[in-house]
Chains A and B, each alone.
Chain A
Amino acid sequence: MSEHTLLRQEHSDSTAVFGFWVYLMTDCVLFAALFAVYAVLRTGTFGGPGGSEIFNLPNILVETFLLLTSSYTCGLAMLAAHKGRRNEVVAWFGATFVLGFSFLALELSEFHQLLLDGNGPDRSAFLSSYFTLVGTHGLHITIGLLWMLVLMSQVLKRGLKPMTLNRLALLSLFWHFLDLIWIFIFTIVYLMGAK
């Protein structure tokens, strides 16, 4: 590859990362709207349960640590990717996937329990906004997990080409971003709602 194409490749990579960053920031605005709705409707329980009655804090702490650890393993996967260690990349992303999947499974079991108890999103304004906010985050996690599977198979099949590396970089940005959004759900919805 000539120096010129190398430079152009590098330039398009940083443009892609910047473009993805702009997308993440607009996603932040989407979450901000849902947070605002939750903050406004928080007290509208319509005779139903409030946050302190339905949140299982130890469970939520486990979810938080699962997601934090998955963010760490995702970082380690990227470090391995930059060093060109293919098997390590797959192993760390595999760990990230398992942690992310466990998070999702815990969240869904929590939702399932709420639905069984008759505290679904149709119960009150509070529960509607709660399910929308936390569910939207869960949906992002699901998309991230699917994306991770696709990229892991690409790494296994084609190795660590510059194009694949670039895609991995975008996925890791997305994953760290979801971790960050969860910190605010953890603090605002669960910790502040528990008392």
Chain B
Amino acid sequence: MSIPKHHLPAEGNLASYTAGFLLSVILSGAAYLAVEQGLVAGTQLIVMLVAFAILQLMVQLVFFLHLDTVSSRWKLLVFLFMAMVVAILVGGSIWIMNNLNYNMSPAATNSFIIHDEGVTK
């Protein structure tokens, strides 16, 4: 009698671990160089860093943590639920707190709000 495939814990092999390691090193190095060399700045830099981080997230999930639909659908489901909770928690906090900062800011930022909201003195 053979054990159903989905009961076996997923494993990697030398090639998959090496690929994951090299890709991670390249992505971390690239992100570091992007900041250190200062080729891009501001929003562009942030977008680039987030892209590198998300790529690396996927590399490590697949090559190191063996997250795939074959070995365990439940593992993926719990991961996706966690991702949703994290998105609400982090996104919501930043959204709400920025709004609060904006509406309860000290005098230094008043001119910024006056300009933004088109208030005439």
Is B a genuine binding partner of A? yes
Question: Would you call A186 and B93 a contact (CB within 8 A)?
Answer: no
Contact with B along A1-14 (1 / 0, CB 8 A): 00100110011011
A39-B93, A169-B9, A183-B28 known; A25+B79 contact, CB < 8 A: yes
| Residues of chain A with a CB closer than 8 A to B45's CB | 195
Question: Would you call B53 and A68 a contact (CB within 8 A)?
Answer: no
A61 within 8 A of B: yes
Question: Would you call B56 and A183 a contact (CB within 8 A)?
Answer: yes
> B112 to nearest A CB, angstroms?
14
> B16 to nearest A CB, angstroms?
8
| Residues of chain A with a CB closer than 8 A to B35's CB | 57, 191, 194-195
> B50 to nearest A CB, angstroms?
7
A32-B90, A180-B60 known; A68+B24 contact, CB < 8 A: yes
B57 within 8 A of A: yes
Size class of the contact patch on chain B? 35 or more
Size class of the contact patch on chain A? 35 or more
| Residues of chain A with a CB closer than 8 A to B113's CB | none
B32: which of A6, A10, A18, A57 is its contact (CB, 8 Å)? Answer: A57
Secondary structure at the B interface, as helix, strand, loop or mixed, is helix
B11: which of A28, A76, A78, A179 is its contact (CB, 8 Å)? Answer: A78
A179: which of B49, B64, B94 is its contact (CB, 8 Å)? Answer: B64
| A→B interface (CB under 8 Å) | 3, 6-7, 10-11, 13-14, 17-18, 21-22, 25-26, 28-29, 32-33, 35-37, 39-40, 57, 61, 64-65, 68-69, 71-72, 75-76, 78-79, 82, 169, 173, 176-177, 179-180, 183-184, 186-188, 191-192, 194-195
Identify 5 residue pairs between A and B in the complex whose beta-carbon atoms are under 8 Å apart, listed by A's number: A36-B90, A36-B94, A39-B90, A79-B12, A191-B49
| B→A interface (CB under 8 Å) | 1, 3, 7-9, 11-14, 17-18, 20-21, 24-25, 28-29, 31-32, 35-36, 38, 41, 45-46, 49-50, 52-53, 56-57, 60-61, 64-65, 72, 74-75, 78-79, 81-82, 85-86, 89-90, 93-94, 97
